[in-house]
Structure 1
Amino acid sequence: MKGLKVNCAIMGGLIFFTALLGTGGGLYAGGQQTKSPAASGPAGWPQELVICYLPNEASEELTEYRSALQGELSTALGIKIREINAADYNAVVEAMRTKHADIVYYGPVSYVQAAERSGAEAMVTPAIFGDKSRAGYTSKIIVKAGSPIKTLQDLRGKTFAFVDPASTSGNYVPTLELMNTFPGMTNEDFHTNGRFFSSVMFSGKHQNGLQGVINGDIEAAPVASDILAAEIAAGRAKESDFVVIHESPKIPSSPMAIRKDLPADLKVKVKQFLLAYKDPNYFQYMLGMSPADRPEFVEAFDRDYDYVRDLMAKVIPQ
């Protein structure tokens, strides 16, 4: 994604970030540090591990659920766990590349980028009933309840907010859905003011786009189905606030990844912990998965994201 400038606007109290397609802010803020054992782990292990979160998971409202996982992981490993929160999707890739982060819950596209650039190694991904064949989520394009917009065709000339240049369900997937609906139009067309949308921008995170639509600041936006479910479960949105006008095919679930160059026995311990972690509050409020579906982490592999690599090549041909 090159050469596309996106406007910075302040609408109804939502700050939409100035961005250049193909670049990112690269900044990440310090976060929570768990109370952890004073003793260090086995020889060769680092004294602490750093978990980095995407903006969608880094909100204050989710601190309780992040801290619960970190505290239990710290106890299981016998080393400190520290949190940092990414300013944007590119920052989580850079954080692992520069060894400022050891574990990241990536989106599928940012994972592929991190696997290529940062030595990220997929460990686990969430699945209902622990059934990997049922793992996945979708990208939903929403409009405000009562909007005259009913289909993708009705979006022409409207205002639209993608999430982040590296967001799978917030940029790549909805862009491909639009390209398939309007043959001959390109990724650049859908990200340049006046070519298809009257105004197009990035909101920074799914929750911003959701609230922008509900508040009437923008006319349409894509939102990941799991994040949408989590926002409804937490009471920050109601199903009556919006209408889904389009839903994508299923996307591979986001992976929790670890730095490939960490000690092998440490990576095994982290994966074992995650595969055994079944806190229903974490899965419901962090990941938008109903406790009735008994969600849990299942093993993830790099090959699981070959679909995403193909998706990226279709949206931005090399």
Structure 2
Amino acid sequence: MKTKIVVLLAVFFMVALAGCSSSSPVKEVRLNNTDNQIVVGYQKNYNEIPLRVAVSSIVSPKETLTIYQPLLEYLEMKLGQKVVLLQRKTYKEVNELITTGHADIAFVCSGNYGAQMSGMELLAVPEVDGDSTYQSFIIAGKHVNASSLSDLRGRSFAYTDPLSFSGHIAPIYMISLLGYDADHFFGRNFYTFSHDNSIQAVSDGIVDAAAVDSMIYKQAIRKFPNLDKSIKVVDKSIVVGSPPVVVNPKIEAKRKEELRSLLLTMHMDPQGKEAINKLDYDKFVDPEEENYSILIPIWLKVKEEL
């Protein structure tokens, strides 16, 4: 398989980014401190084993902490239990945390789930404007003469993560449907390891085009309207279930139901609603399995190229 150049983009987009975390020991991020030192969210001395929450790097590590902190604090308050955030650089590493039992609950990309269905169980899924699905947006710089993915042949292209549905799996699948080999379709390609990095790379002209999460793209345009002047959407993938919340299938049934109930009702609580809004979600709902089973044939077709 053609070697992909891995690019770590240092300072970009919605926030001043911290660099991607290393793949050495799991990083524990303290909720109420920006120096990433260990503290308990509400300064209580909990004796129980903490709830370990893993989050895929759909956005940059620092942005992840910023947007997930209210949710983590809410879980800690409602459960009466210390909550720790586990961040890893790649989706594969997050998969391993949940499937090996080193994380109790995880917020993953749909591609993660499609790649590891047997080791994860759907718990809840975010809903935005009454919709709990999303897709890959193929974006390009406004200066690029392209109106579809096929027009990007020979151009430079940014993927997010090998297991990202919207940032890698979907475009590879779409290229295969065009009758091309993804390894030789683009002039050069690389990974950015977050969707905000990819969006900024296209906006800044570092790369001609990229594949990104449609929800992250829409959030970016709402937050930074001027981005619309430098980037455009040239193609879209099929629609699949939004990035879900999952647990290890071996988790205690009572515990699983407690977590599910808390997520599905938190939009009814003012503090819970505020935490959800920070994620740009309206609420969490029960997942529809058919929105994820559609990933199976896609995964089987492209897995040898990942």
Provide the TM-score with structure 2 as the length reference. 0.82
Match of 1:55 in 2: 57
| 1:149 lines up with 2:146 in the alignment | yes
Separation (CA, whole Å) in 2 of partners of 1:158 and 1:57: 24
> 1:217: how far off?
0.7
Question: Which residue of the partner structure matches residue 36 of structure 2?
Answer: none
CA drift of 1:283 comes to 4.3
SS at match of 1:211: helix
Give the drift of 1:230.
2.2
1:244 maps to a residue whose letter is V
What SS is found at the alignment partner of 2:30? strand
Partner of 1:292: none
Check whether the contact 1:28–1:84 (CA below 8 A) recurs between aligned residues: yes
Corresponding residue for 1:272?
261
- The answer to whether structure 1 residue 229 and structure 2 residue 218 are counterparts is yes
The aligned residue for residue 298 of structure 1 is 285
Instruction: Tell me, in whole angstroms, the C-alpha distance in 2 between the residues paired with 1:222 and 1:282.
Output: 28
* Alpha-carbon distance in 1 for matches of 2:276, 2:144: 32
- Distance change (3 Å), C-alpha of 1:179 and 1:26: farther
Match of 2:38 in 1: none
- In the alignment of these two chains, the number of paired residues is 285
Alpha-carbon distance change, 57 to 219 in structure 1, aligned in 2, over 3 angstroms: closer
Deviations 1:130-152 (A, max 9, x none): x5xx3201111111123222322
Q: Is the 8 A contact 1:232 1:238 kept in 2?
A: yes
Residue of structure 1 equivalent to 2:228: 239
**Which residue of 1 is the match for residue 244 of structure 2?**
255
SS in 1 for 2:29: strand
How do 1:20-169 residues align onto structure 2 when only pairs under 5 Å count?
A: 28-33=26-31, 34-35=41-42, 37-38=44-45, 47-57=49-59, 59-116=61-118, 119-128=119-128, 131=130, 134-169=131-166
Aligned to 1:190: 182
Structure 1 stretch displaced more, 64-73 or 83-92: 64-73
C-alpha change, 1:73 and 1:206, in structure 2 (3 Å) is same
Equivalents in 2 of 1:237, 1:83: separation in Å?
A: 33
**Which amino acid letter does the alignment assign opposite residue 226 of structure 1?**
M
- Give the superposition deviation at 1:13: 6.4
**Rounded Cα–Cα distance in structure 2 between residues aligned with 1:258 and 1:314:** 26
Alpha-carbon separation, structure 2, partners of 1:236 and 1:94: 37
Q: 1:306 to 1:277 in 2, by over 3 A?
A: same
Question: Counterpart amino acid of 1:227?
Answer: I
Does the residue aligned with 2:83 lie in a helix, a strand or coil?
strand
Aligned to 1:308: 295
**TM-score normalised according to structure 1 size:** 0.79
Deviation track 1:23-63 (CA, whole Å, cap 9, x = no partner) reads x95764321342265456xxxxx621110111124532343
Change (3 A) 1:25 1:237: farther
Unaligned runs of 5+ in 2: 32-40
RMSD: 2.9
Contact 2:9 2:197 in 1 (8 A): no
In 1, the alpha carbon distance for the partners of 2:8 and 2:110 equals 29
* Cα offset, 1:311, TM superposition: 1.3
Q: Which amino acid counterpart does residue 240 of structure 1 have in structure 2?
A: K
Whether the 8 Å CA contact 2:71–2:276 is kept in 1: the answer is no
Q: Is the 8 A contact 2:9 2:192 kept in 1?
A: no
Secondary structure class of the residue paired with 2:133: coil
Shift, 1:93, TM fit: 0.6
The answer on whether the counterparts of 2:110 and 2:165 sit within 8 Å (CA) in structure 1 is yes
Stretches of structure 1 that go unaligned for 5 or more consecutive residues are 18-23, 41-45, 290-294
Q: Distance in 2 between matches of 1:206 and 1:261?
A: 31
Contact preservation (8 Å) 1:26, 1:88: no
Q: Percent identity?
A: 22
Quote the offset at 1:236 in angstroms.
Answer: 8.6
Contact preservation (8 Å) 1:234, 1:285: no
Specify whether residues 285 and 223 from structure 1 end up closer, same or farther in structure 2 by C-alpha distance, changes over 3 A only: farther
CA contact (8 A) 1:141 1:220 kept: yes
SS in 2 for 1:170: helix
- Residue 245 of structure 1 and its aligned partner are, at CA, apart by 0.7
Q: Secondary structure at the match of 1:55?
A: coil
Q: Is the 8 A contact 1:162 1:201 kept in 2?
A: yes
